[in-house]
Chains A and B, each alone.
Chain A
Amino acid sequence: MLHVSRKMSKEDQHHENYGGSKTDKTAKRTGSDCSQQYPETRAEKNSANTVSKQFPQNNSLKVQRMIKMPYYPGCAVQTTARNYSVSGIAVAEKLGVELIELPKWYCCGVFPSLANDDLMRHLAPIRNLIQVQEINENGIVKNENRVATFCSMCYHTLKEANMFVKDEEKLKKINTFFDREKEFAGGAKEGYRGGIAVLDFLELLRDVVGYGKIAREVKKPLKGLKVAPYYGCLVLRPREIGIDDAENPTVFEDLLEVLGAEVINNPNKTQCCGSYHTINRKDIVTKLTYDNLIYALRNGAEIVATCCPLCTFNLDAKQKEARGLYRDLDEIPIMYYTQLMAIALGLERQFYGVEFDLHYVDPKPILEAKNLY
């Protein structure tokens, strides 16, 4: 982890030094727009611009700029978890990060193969990392070797594959699959060179945006809203790819606190949600849904905040069945943290993502009761 964050800050520095042209362009455009009406604003902008040109490495004098971040959506957040991406993209923009969807992207691979020699199963995630390379070469982003994603599964699979090909021998073998592919329509221009960093959006908020900045942007604190976080497994385990401590993570709690919510302890926050057993072993998932919600409820939670579409489905859609089996389980709405952020940052209602009819347990009543909706 430490390694990645250090690398990121280095990359950021790199941006300050070489990615300046984008900042200049934005400033110039704004400047010329203003010039007709407010010549003094232009002068101000220009002077700021000149300063940043002279001392591009000085962070304290930097002009407000958007970070252009390659973004890998994945299938879930485009469809059944659209409330996650719609709220998340708007939140990112508010916080100065423009998420640029990869012009072409493919299935993340869904669960990385754990077999050491099952190279074919890593083609899909690596192909997506090649797309990050390509949008750098197309000039859509400049020297940006990071890619952000909302879905925990996508994050997990992309990052596992990325780790897998740190072994040069394996990378070489995988790259032979892309050999001469550029001869064909839409084929990869070249193999994966390595060196792309995969970021979970929670990680991006903590390490790239910073909780300090988020705190400054909070317009409507989630005062009195009792929220229990639920991490699931994919962003935490195995340790090598986890965004926080695998046993006792706090990144989620810290974020909820910044938003002004009352954080409720959820002792089962890192337990398994049952994952794809939801398809053919419903009994397992129903039991886990009960386990994962009951302690949060007993501790007084009014909402459970999640970061993974699959966890969310299991916690939300399976509640009805769980309540049929376990009489003491009350209904509780499940929301993505990005939805809570959209509310707290004072974004427009359309970005809350609660109107898409994707929630099984409607969160509107509790939000209304707290004057948040």
Chain B
Amino acid sequence: MVENKPENKEKVRIYIMGREYKVPAGLTITKAMEYAGYRFMRGSGCRGGFCGACATVYRLRNDYKLRAALACQKTVEDGIYIAQIPFTPAEKPLYNLNEVGPSVNVFLEYYPEIAKCVCCNTCTKACPQDLEVMDYVQAALRGDFEEAARLSFDCIACGLCAMRCPTEIVPYNIALLARRIFGRYVMPRAKHVEDRIKEVESGKFDEEIQKLMQADSASLKETYAKREIEPE
């Protein structure tokens, strides 16, 4: 049997857009694809699970479920079928945050398709961040932007929810609006930031900035190396 040959033991078969490759087990999808000879122009970013650039859909052998993951986070399995989604086409309406206000109907106004949600939960199943996507869409639908902001806090806007939604909602953009309204109208203002802005505006740091702008490369490097990283 093929599987028992020693040279095959640590390798798994993967299918990238239908074509079979043998790659070492334990690689992430990103690394497996690079091992197979692909070079990423799009569809890869931070490689640490934070940027949301490497959205990928896959199916496992003998499983009807279409699954989704970040290519830099998911390790390959034997018989996995992989296709990357480097970009999600989605409209992002323009709004002025100072004008929208924390109204309950703001989501219906900018994303009226949100009312089409049938609660199938497909978005949640697609989310590589394990967010309760349907729950935050539902919170937004009833104007509860606070709950929507809270539930969507870890969203990295990879777009997989929007690609899977049968009612063509774009959850991650809705979540962004929710967090923006929450930040603008609900969250308390940070006192220290406001104090610092006043200091900046009063010209307290002008001299220092001027000094930096006129400094030569060598002294800039020295200043950078000596900088205080975490003030005590």
Contacts and interface: CB of A to CB of B under 8 A. Distances in A.
A124 B121 CA distance: 10
B60 interface: no
A79 B146 CA distance: 13
Interface stretch (A184-192, A226-234, A362-370): A184-192
Contacts of B120: 120, 123, 177
Interface residues of A, number: 22
A368 B137 CA distance: 42
Interface string A69-107: 000000100111000000000000000000000001011
B25 interface: no
A106 B104 contact: no
Contacts of B166: 120
Contacts of A106: 119, 134-135, 138
Contacts of A75: 141-143
Interface in B72-123: 104, 115, 117-121
Contacts of A107: 117, 119, 138, 141-142
Contacts of A110: 115
Interface stretch (B42-50, B125-133, B193-201, B215-223): B125-133
Contacts, number: 58
B135 A123 contact: no
Given A75-B142, A78-B142, A104 B135 contact: yes
A187 B121 CA distance: 8
B168 to A, nearest CB: 14
A171 to B, nearest CB: 16
B221 to A, nearest CB: 47
A68 to B, nearest CB: 24
A127 interface: yes
A104 B132 CA distance: 11
23 contacts: A75-B142, A75-B143, A78-B142, A78-B143, A79-B104, A79-B142, A104-B135, A106-B134, A107-B117, A107-B119, A107-B141, A123-B119, A123-B120, A124-B119, A177-B120, A177-B121, A184-B125, A184-B127, A185-B124, A185-B131, A186-B124, A186-B134, A187-B124
Interface of A: 75, 78-80, 104, 106-107, 109-110, 120-121, 123-124, 127, 177, 180-181, 184-188
